Amino acid sequence: MQDRFGLVPPEIRAIYENEDALDRQVDTARYIDKALKQHDPHLGIVFVKNVPESELPVGAVANRWHVERKNPGFVSTYWPIVGPNGEFREPTVAVVEQMQRWDLHNESAMRALRERQGRIEAKRAKHKALEGEQRRDELALDLRAGRRVAGEGGLTKSKWGRG
């Protein structure tokens, strides 16, 4: 969107810029989808929306682009297109090059890829469990601190001897 005179409010300009970015991503995804299908007719690119974790397909991440392999007679396999730390990454032609490097028809390559994804998922689960434990510890400390407040059975004696 061009706003030569700066008359468009920033909120509306941001909406148009987001729509432009989304259009660019969809155009790129269409091109990538065609290239993936030339490599393997079972491959494609999809965007997984923000859905509850219990409804996500195995291997999928919410609000991310994925390479999907439709396995005839089996559950589809998903590879999220993410940055090094799991952050959002727009699909690029590098995705096609990476899929060509991975020989998906070779069962040992597929097994190695699944094992790698399994290790990543285990690491994420361990990290999530650690965060939960840390939250519980913080809550326990907060509760103990709350019990030390006057009137809650903690500090009942006043310094004037009335309590």
Beta carbons of 68 and 38 less than 8 angstroms apart: no
Do the domain assignments include residue 161? no
Strand 64-69 to 43-48 pairing: antiparallel
Tell me the pTM. 0.52
Do the domain assignments include residue 156? no
Q: What is the mean pLDDT of residues 140-146?
A: 83
Which tens digits make up the pLDDT trace of 68-88? Answer: 888 888 888 888 888 888 888
Query: How many structural domains comprise the chain?
Result: 2
pLDDT band at 1 (very low <50, low <70, confident <90, very high): low
Beta carbons of 65 and 46 less than 8 angstroms apart: yes
Same domain, 29 and 91: yes
Residue 161 pLDDT > 70, yes or no? Answer: no
- Say which amino acid occupies 72: P
Report the alpha-carbon distance of residue 65 to residue 45 in Å, rounded.
7
Q: What is residue 135's predicted lDDT score, i.e. its pLDDT?
A: 93
